[in-house]
Amino acid sequence: MSNETRPVDPAKCHLLLNHGPVTLVSAAFHGRRNVMAASWVMPLDFDPPKVAAVIDGRGFTRELIDASGEFALSVPFRRIARKVLAAGSISGREGDKFVHAGLATFPASVIGAPLVRDCAAWLECKVIPEKRLQRRYDLFVAEVVAAWADPAVFSGGRWHFPDTARKTIHYQAGGAFFATGGPFDCAEG
C-alpha cells in the first residue's frame, strides 16, 4: 500500500484540514522520531498558510517538536484507522512508535519530520515561537512551508474520494471514528 504525492498550492492548503479530519502529528530530532494522533488541529490563516494544533505537554512528540521547531501533519486514509488508533494509544519513548503501530513513512521536502504513508494529504510545518501559548495551553501556531496531497483523492482544490478505503476520517472517542461522508453542494442547487 502506497500512494502518490503532488504539491498543493500553499494558499490552498487550508482545504486539506477544513473538513476537520483526524491527523497524525510527526516530529524528529537528532535521529529520534515519533508520531501521535491529533484531532485538535485546524487552519489558522490562508497566506502565508498557518495552522494551530494542540500538542500534549507530556508526550514524546511534544519533546521532539520543542527541540526541532518543526512538525508534519499527515491526514490518514480510513484503511489505516487501526494504526492511527494505535499511534494515539501507545508511547513512543520506549522504541519507534512508527514501527510499533505499523506506520510506513517517507521523507518530507523541507522539514526533518517524516511523513506517513497511506494518507490523503500532508502539511510540513515550522513552529512560530509562541512560548507562553505553548506552555499555558499546549497550543502551537505554525507556518505551513510545504503541502502535498494524493491526486487520487484531492485535486483542483477539491476532495473526491474514489472508495471507502481512501476516505479521510474523523475521531469521536474510545476508538470510534466517522468516515468523511457524502458530499453535497449548497451553491449549486
Binding residues for a copy of itself (CB under 8 A): 15, 18-21, 39-45, 50, 52, 54, 78, 81-82, 84-85, 130, 133, 137-139, 141, 157-159, 167, 170-188
Minimal distance, residue 28 CB to a copy of itself, in Å:
25
Report the C-alpha gap between 145 and 10 in whole angstroms.
Answer: 8
Q: How many other CB atoms sit within 10 Å of the CB of residue 122?
A: 27
- Distance (Å, rounded) from C-alpha 157 to C-alpha 152? 12
Nearer to a copy of itself, 21 or 114 (CB): 21
* Distance from C-alpha of 88 to C-alpha of 169, rounded to nearest angstrom: 14
When the beta carbons of 37 and 108 are compared against a copy of itself, the nearer one is: 37
Taking CA atoms, 118 is separated from 21, 101, 132, 169, 174, in Å, by 15, 13, 35, 13, 23
Least distance to a copy of itself, CB of residue 141, Å: 6
* Minimum distance from residue 136 beta carbon to a copy of itself (Å): 9
In angstroms, give the least distance from the CB of 129 to a copy of itself: 13
